[in-house]
Amino acid sequence: AISAATGAMLTNGLLTIRSHGLETLARSTHVVFDKTGTLTHGTPAVTDTRILSDRGRDELLDIAAALEAHSEHPAGKALVRAAPGSHGFSATGITNFPGAGLSGRIAGRDWYIGNAGFIAERSRADLAEVPAGRVDGTRVLLADAQQLHAVFVLRDQVRDEARSVVAALQNAGKQIVLMSGDNATVAHQVAAEVGISEVYGDMRPDDKLRQVQALQQQGAIVVMVGDGINDAPVLATADVSVAMRSAADISQASADIVLMSDELGALATGVRLANRTLRIIRQNLAWAVSYNMIALPAAALGFVAPWMAAIGMSSSSLLVVVNALRLTRER
């Protein structure tokens, strides 16, 4: 049954790397999603730039891009794409703080780019200058040691199938949780759009790790769906981990199952297939136990001839194989 299901999973765009993944996926109680690259496409774009110093927009974008050129984060790639590249900046001494930001040196000056908490810890910039009010997107701040220079607003598109996948998983009895490193406002916006009620924003990788461990301590069986380098620790900790095709290599290496396409709907198919696999395993075990409880005493007492026993055992084996092969028709 597991062999047939593994083949069916691959046909449906899911590569099962570790054998325990199928059975644990069926028994799971919680599905935890990262936001960027899973519920969203993972290709954000810069939709607004708030300039807070006397430097020009293109210059600040080029400074941000020089720092983010050393990052694999989707937000960093968005800033690199948005930069005109006309200033020829190059950053040295890059330090990456997972889930928070980057620091580096450009033209003899230390620069910092990341979320508000990261900037507050490393710069004397006055964060009261950050424009107030609701922002439809993720804020990325750029500052030097003394001053806040710019606030970039990035927006990522939610996958078309995300809401239906969340609904399918909820109908399968799973508790859905969203854990995002983006600010809480953006996390709640995406959660409302796809139908998730339990939401956590402004989470660093170690925050996600602690939250998943807390769920496990309460008896939950957790499936973690992630995409970025920052998700590798929590993917390794979850009972079942699922990485997207576009995920970083370290995330895929930590995963039990990899989605071989960008279709999130394959995850709902995988859960349904895992549930069917568990049912068929139970059916086959029930049949085998029942058959042997009847056939073995009958053979021992001489009621079954050897040729009849051979035919019976072969037929029993054939029956469980045919029953398992029903899994290969799953689409």
Helical packing angle, 184-194 and 162-171, nearest 10°: 70
Residues with active-site annotation = 34
3-class DSSP state of 279: helix
**14 closest CA partner among 203, 220, 273, 310:** 273
Task: Give the C-alpha separation, 244 to 102, whole Å.
Answer: 24
Task: Give the C-alpha separation, 241 to 235, whole Å.
Answer: 5
Query: What DSSP character marks residue 263?
Result: -
Q: What is the DSSP string of 67-133?
A: HHTT--SHHHHHHHHH----S----EEEEEETTTEEEEEETTEEEEEE-HHHHHHH----GGGSPPS
Contact 156, 43 (CB under 8 A): yes
Residue whose token pair is 């003394």: 146
Distance of CA 16 to the CA centre of its chain: 15
Contact 196, 177 (CB under 8 A): yes
